Structure 1
């Protein structure tokens, strides 16, 4: 089956979210990946009986800059750990007046402006093309939005996340350009994360936590580091409450993903089986094993 039952919930924590409240039977364990070193060890535990796997995206203590994150290793080790659903939590800047600091946005689209990152598990020797038309799993998005509303957290369903390379923030001209494109928030970490989650046949959703307005805003220059950090810490507390609330909502799901996230590779592989590179296939055992075994020459 493409979706084991019961589900295993993976949490990728961004800036400020380094732990999960209420997690029991906690064990930190290193999981090896053929794609290199992930950001940190994985934290295994249970939350109200549901298996949860937590990965701090920047490493504990925030050691890694966005461009230095090994996104392929991160998604690969989550897949190897049995994760089926991934909730990504990220700090972002707002590109809209109606999304002030403290707002949580359950985004449904991305624009990828990154350029210094490896964006696919596949490549020479085994080429694959997955659909990214709908990059967020609607089932996960529904569950997250329901949890946010139940907690009374200021939130918005839908919006486009512009992912920039960083580590520097935008110029004012860039910020105004992204606003003209209709983008809602801007950050540095959800690409290629979302693309790799789709290639790994994982259901994926993002919660974008607004810490400040981007530099387009007239009041941006008056924002201090202390103010941003204060919002960041408040958001982290809300994010921990969100995780605690949303995991039980996801725990009862059985069967395949209604959106097809967990069969994304069914028609994606284009390289003929007899000419596929064996070394690459060995690295793809977790990510693409379901279809590669079926299509072996």
Structure 2
């Protein structure tokens, strides 16, 4: 027998609107509060399709033809996906550091093979400076790997861009135009000035690249350069010194010193120590840790009222 129509509607609404708390949430595995969530936590897996297309459900019984019914549940709305929060810096077109088949081999007009014909040159999607903007396009793969010297993206190997250093020139870094968690262990995705924009003397143009993490101690900024704060920068608990924002508890990221950005809600949560020795959370709140999201001994403040 098919379940009542009202029950189906209730279950679908719960999945589409409150995925983290309904029908098998990953929240327990991520430490309850979910300071950093999985892709399922964002709700993209079970939400309605693009353009507000409502989900459909089969109400047909076994052995009979399935009947699709439109329950007209609207797609959930909210903040942009925090896992792709730097995508807007990469322009429109191919994705730097993305699918290697986006740019195929092409004949090189300025070189020849041993047989006298044009040679082939491996291309990849990279960002170049066009009219003061970072613009994606297919260009030749350079010879320098991650950490190598560069003046522009064409100096770097596949999937790498050229980020400016404090002095002249730059360093090859992995692009993170797509999922910010695609960075190699020990690094995290952040904005850095494109080397070309600095070398050519124009306004610095930010690009998203994977940069080395400092692994600093939370709630202790003494190891960070002046003006930076230590916070969690990856969902595995990696920490580093970053430029702080102004967001405080339950406010939008980026966050002020002493707070961490929740990937689940894109809101700031107050950091705290779980040893009970310091009253970081104040009255009517406690420090909740016990998750791989937070380094040992740390958590976030949750209300007890």
TM-score (norm. length: structure 2): 0.20
Identify the structure with the greater helix proportion: 1
Larger radius of gyration: 2
TM-score (norm. length: structure 1): 0.20
Identify the structure with the greater strand proportion: 2
